[in-house]
Each structure stands twice: as C-alpha cells, then as structure tokens.
Amino acid sequence: MGDNLYSDSVLAIEPQTGKIKWHFQYTPHDLHDWDSVQTPVLVNAEFQRRARKLLLQANRNGFFYVLDRETGQLLLAQPFVKKITWASEIAPDGRPKLVAGQEPSELGTKTCPSVVGAT
C-alpha cells in the first residue's frame, strides 16, 4: 500500500549528478493503471502574471496539470473530461481528493476515466 513513490510521476533529475531535483506524482497508489505515458509539453510563458518555465500535461487520470518546471510546484489541475468519478478535485498540495467507492472491486466498479485513460 502507500503512494508507490515515483510511479505515475514526473521527475526532474540533475544531469550532472543524477540526483532527483523534484518529483510530482499525478496519481498516488494508482489502482486504475493511469500511468503517465504522454510526453509533457515544456513552455516558457506568462502564468498568473509572471514569466515562468512550465510543464503542461493532460494526464490519463482526466486532469490537466500545469507545473513550474524549475520547482515542481503545482500551479493548476483542472478536469479536461466531462465526468471524473474517482476524484472530486486535486488539492493545492497535488493530492487527489478521492471519491469513496471508486476503487476496483470483484463485482466491478464503473469509473471515469476508464482503464484506457482520458488521453
């Protein structure tokens, strides 16, 4: 159990040392197989009235994320599919607010997005 650290995550690694600078985990303890396979988009743009280096990703879990790519700070997480049933939102600390009863079960659980993900 637990978050399964670094799964379903993006990591910033210092190329000279190989040390992890920061990480952001999109779906801690992912029971739905929404591992992030989409390539993040890196942009330099103004966000919240400030020039920033950003990382953008539409994730298989149904949320669109904007991160500060220098610090890993979550700046925005918004749904991009019509109905997400597994989480009500992404908290400011980046953790999903889980909806009860959306875990896989022997009888089956209808969850959106499905096992193929939202992207």
Domain encompassing residue 82: 9-98
Residue 111, in any domain of the structure: no
pLDDT in tens, 28-56: 988 878 887 789 999 999 999 999 999 99
Residue 80, in any domain of the structure: yes
pLDDT at 34: 83
pLDDT in tens, 3-27: 899 989 999 999 999 999 999 999 9
Residue 16, in any domain of the structure: yes
Q: Specify the higher pLDDT residue, 69 or 103.
A: 69
Of 119, 58, 109, nearest to 86 by C-alpha is 109
Of 11, 19, 70, 13, nearest to 36 by C-alpha is 11
Residue 74 buriedness (CB in 10 A; 0-12 / 13-18 / 19+): middle
Q: How many domains does the chain have?
A: 1
pLDDT at 111: 76
CB proximity list for 72: less than 8 A, separation 6 or greater: 12, 21, 22, 23, 24
Structure-token pair, residue 71: 């610090």
**Residue position matching structure tokens 């978050």:** 3
**pTM (predicted TM-score):** 0.89
Residue 63, in any domain of the structure: yes
Residue 116, in any domain of the structure: no
> In this model, does residue 116 exceed pLDDT 70?
no
Q: Specify the higher pLDDT residue, 117 or 87.
A: 87
Residues 24, 39: contact at Cβ < 8 Å? no
Residue 22, in any domain of the structure: yes
pLDDT at 95: 95
Residue 28, in any domain of the structure: yes
Residue 104, in any domain of the structure: no
Q: Specify the higher pLDDT residue, 104 or 49.
A: 49
Catalytic residue from among 3, 33, 68, 93: 33
- To the query of whether residue 33 is one of the catalytic residues in this protein, the response is yes
> In this model, does residue 105 exceed pLDDT 90?
no
- Terminal alpha carbon distance of the chain: 26
Summarize the confidence of residues 66-87 as an average pLDDT.
Answer: 95
